[in-house]
Amino acid sequence: MLSVLYSLLEVVIVLVPILLSVAFMTIIERKVLASMQRRVGPNTVGYYGVLQPFADALKLVVKETVVPQHATRSLFFLAPVISLVFSLLGWAVIPFGSGLALSDFSLGILYSLAISSIGVYGVLFAGWSANSKYAFLGSLRSTAQMISYELILSSAVLAVILLTGTFHYTTIIESQQSVWFLVPLFPLFIIFFISVLAETNRTPFDLPEAESELVAGFFTEHSGMIFVFFFLAEYCSIVLMSALTAILFLGGYIMPEIVPNDTFINIQSIVLALKTCIFCFVFVWFRATLPRLRYDQLMQFCWMGMLPVVIALIILVPSILVAFDIAPY
C-alpha cells in the first residue's frame, strides 16, 4: 500500500509542475507575440499579467459546455480526455536528472513514439463524434498531417538511435558528454524540429486549426471544460516536444565537457528546463514570423521535400560510422 502511495506521490510531483508550466506557456506566448508585434500584451491580472493564465482557466471552467444534439456523446467527451492523457503520459520516461525519471524505461524512445501516435485518436474521435462538417474536415486534415510528419520525426530519431545504439534516454544523454548531437547531426536536428512543429499543429503547419478556413478545426464544437482539455493537451505537447528536442540534440540535463558537470550535479533539472525554454521560445518565434502554408503545400513538403532528404541522411549516418569504425554496436 505504501509503495502505491509513494508512486502516486511521485506522479503528482511531476504532473503539477508540468501543468503549471503549460499554464504559463500561454502567458509566455502572448507576451512574446505582443513584444514582436509592438504591443503590450496581458498586463492587468497580477503583476505584469503573470496571473492571466489563472483568469483564463477560471473563465473557461465556468463557461457552459454545449453539446451538439446529434453528437455521439461518449466519443465527444472521450476525445479531449484521450488527447490530454496521452500528452501527459509522454512525461513518464523523461529523465529530469541523473536517475530522476518516473520510469527509467530501456525502450523510452519507442514508448514516446507510440504514445504520440495514439494521440491521433483523440483528434479523429473529436471530429467524427461532433457530427459537424467543419470539425470532421479539420480532424481528417489534422490526422493526415500528424501521421505524415510522424514518419519524418521517427526517421530523424532513428539516426540518433543508430549513433548511440540504444533506445534509452539516459544513455543518449550521457553519450553527449563530449559534444551535443546538435553539432554532428545539425541537418537532422532541423528536420526533426520542423516535424515537431507539424506534429503539434503549430505555425506554419497549423492548418487543422486555421480560423480562416475551418473555424477552429477538429474542436469546433467543443466548448467550456472539454475545450480546456484540448487546450492543455496542445500546450503540454509543445513543452514535451521541446524537452525531447533538448534531450536528443542538446544534451538534456548535462553540459559539455568544457563545463565541469560536477558544478551542475544539483541543478540538472534546471539545466534541462532552461534548454526546454529555448525551444518553447522558438515555437512562439516561428508563430510570430512565418506565414501559414496551404494544405497541399504542407503535404507536398512532407512527402516530396523532407522524406527523401531524411532517408538519405539515415543512410549517410551509419555509413560514416561504419567507414570510420566508430559504430556503438
Q: Tens of pLDDT along 303-317?
A: 999 999 999 999 888
Position 1 in a domain: no
**pLDDT score recorded for residue 325:** 67
**pLDDT score recorded for residue 110:** 92
Position 11 in a domain: no
Residue 22 to residue 57: CA distance in whole angstroms: 12
Q: Which residues contact 159 (CB under 8 A, 6 or more apart)?
A: 185, 188, 313, 314, 317
**pLDDT score recorded for residue 261:** 53
Q: Are residues 271 and 320 in the same domain?
A: yes
Q: Are residues 24 and 116 in the same domain?
A: no
Q: Are residues 112 and 257 in the same domain?
A: yes
**pLDDT score recorded for residue 209:** 65
Position 26 in a domain: yes
For the chain, the domain total comes to: 2
Q: Are residues 99 and 171 in the same domain?
A: yes
Residue with cell 528546463: 273
Q: Are residues 163 and 246 in the same domain?
A: yes
**pLDDT score recorded for residue 212:** 52
Last residue of a domain, one of 28, 45, 61: 61
Position 104 in a domain: yes
Residue 256 to residue 176: CA distance in whole angstroms: 7
Residue 236 to residue 33: CA distance in whole angstroms: 19
Q: Are residues 108 and 249 in the same domain?
A: yes
Last residue of a domain, one of 61, 86, 116: 61
Position 229 in a domain: yes
Please name the residue ranges forming H helices in the chain: 2-36, 52-62, 73-89, 108-118, 120-129, 133-164, 169-174, 186-199, 211-214, 224-249, 268-289, 295-300, 307-323
Q: Are residues 37 and 95 in the same domain?
A: no
Position 8 in a domain: no
Q: Are residues 76 and 41 in the same domain?
A: no
Q: Are residues 50 and 114 in the same domain?
A: no
Position 109 in a domain: yes
Residues of the chain with pLDDT under 50: none
From 222, 208, 225, select the one nearest 56 (Cα to Cα).
Answer: 225
Q: Are residues 193 and 280 in the same domain?
A: yes
Provide the whole-model pTM.
0.91
Tell me the per-residue pLDDT of 75-88, one tens digit each, with 9 for 90 and over. 999 999 999 999 99
**pLDDT score recorded for residue 157:** 93
Q: In the numeric block, which cell numbers belong to residue 324?
A: 570510420
Residue 10 to residue 6: CA distance in whole angstroms: 6
Last residue of a domain, one of 36, 61, 86: 61
Q: Are residues 39 and 79 in the same domain?
A: no
Position 6 in a domain: no
Q: Are residues 184 and 308 in the same domain?
A: yes
From 9, 19, 16, select the one nearest 235 (Cα to Cα).
Answer: 19
Structural domain boundaries enclosing 274: 62-328
**pLDDT score recorded for residue 309:** 93
Residue 150 to residue 262: CA distance in whole angstroms: 37
